[in-house]
A and B are shown apart, each in its own frame.
Chain A
């Protein structure tokens, strides 16, 4: 990792992005995007997720700031709790500094563009680091002070569901990923990892019977966490990707536990430092996961918490996992990556969307201006091969908006003959949390070509003459 040292003239001397700035932006310019709840609620007793579920049922999905969450000591926590940030693509666009209306494929493409860029982090001193305003070490740490959320009925405990960072013991790069951590005691968490990047780092240490340092970034600016879902290859330093995502260098400061050997983001609201002891496993879970179903109880790692540092008035952050908050966050990075890959082979691709109805991962809608028959299937193959989460692909013509599910289903209803236009691919790599999957690893994938054939006449879609419509705008009749 390249780390720059700050100088008064460097770009890093500009004020960095903070979560509280984002809250202020919403409150000032987009007040409907933020709901403040001042009533006392107990997050560990499902009261936060009950309110979120009730809002969701009514089709309302604001970011919610709980001003008086009760902690596990039975007191109002000093840390307000913010959640459901990512359930709206508009808020995600705003988080990346874009306009509210740029919330469809433009958002995903901008994400993808930034993901390819790198902005090296800069180092600052601890006295300049907001996250170091309060530091607690060893026995001073008590996780019960935090308003940790118990999300769903079968979850055995409250979970911190934000993003741990680990450092590769051989290559030295940092990796961040959303991983669930189960509250097990005032200084103990359970940790679940899938066999991806953080798992590889931990495994390298375990093979040498070494502990793995881990730092949980509990709260930060939303662009930081959007960047945490990046799909950059192993070996990429995620602090550089996160810098690109935030459009500014991440300011780093030495951790309390490992000093300069493990740098942490200075502008986070709150971080928890801990170690994963090698080859120790305990029961963890079940946990309500992204498909909207529970993943089973497992034997998983634990974290011995060593330190916590936070701002004096830190905000605690949570994700409503298994709901739109989780699905939108999962979809944006994949849409941009898929669009760019498909564009290289099918230049007429117009948009790619992983809708919430497919938990932001399993269903993929692709619209193309097809030049020759067969291009739709080429686009679909790329989507299936590129992202193993994607299970069903529906390819539609360019007149269909893939961000409008009614339109996609219209194309499915009127442009598909099942014996001609549906292909099933057996024994592909799937996702272990897909509840429909019979095998541990393998799944069946499906392509639905809902485009019109080019080689024969096809019934024309109804149209009211555009020039006449233009003469009768609805605003004339509905004020």
Chain B
């Protein structure tokens, strides 16, 4: 299978599959297939990378 990562939508909190090579670092808005929200990778709630690494980009980008 092509490498994919799973972002979680900041609006409906559901996750979906996104092609790693095409979109992980493209700075293009992703489209949530469930609610239609468009968002950048760094705006997602939770991110599971293709190798299984988990991060929480939205939490990390909030100012202290």
Contacts and interface: CB of A to CB of B under 8 A. Distances in A.
Interface of B, secondary structure class, is loop
B1 A154 contact: no
B31 A298 contact: no
B23 interface: yes
Contact of B22 (A294, A299, A434, A435): A299
Interface in B1-24: 1-4, 16-20, 22-23
A313 interface: no
Contacts of B18: 286, 296-297
A440 B3 contact: yes
A432 B33 contact: no
Contacts of B34: 153-154
A154 B23 contact: no
Interface of A, secondary structure class, is loop
Interface string A242-286: 000000000000000000000000000000000000000001011
A157 B31 CA distance: 11
B54 interface: no
Given A154-B16, A154-B17, A283-B28, A298 B1 contact: no
- How many B residues are at the interface, by size bracket? 20 to 34
B33 A286 contact: yes
Contacts of B29: 283
A296 B4 CA distance: 7
Interface residues of A, number: 22
Interface in A284-316: 285-286, 294-299
Contacts of B17: 154, 286, 294-297
B19 A296 contact: yes
A437 interface: yes
Contact of A156 (B4, B19, B31): B31
B61 to A, nearest CB: 21
B62 to A, nearest CB: 26
B23 A298 contact: yes
Contacts of A124: none
B60 interface: no
Contact of B28 (A157, A299, A432): A299
A420 interface: no
A436 interface: yes
A283 B23 contact: yes
Given A154-B16, A154-B17, A297 B1 contact: no
A223 to B, nearest CB: 33
Interface of B: 1-4, 16-20, 22-23, 26, 28-34, 36
13 contacts: A153-B34, A156-B31, A283-B23, A283-B28, A285-B19, A296-B4, A296-B19, A297-B16, A297-B33, A299-B26, A299-B28, A438-B1, A440-B3
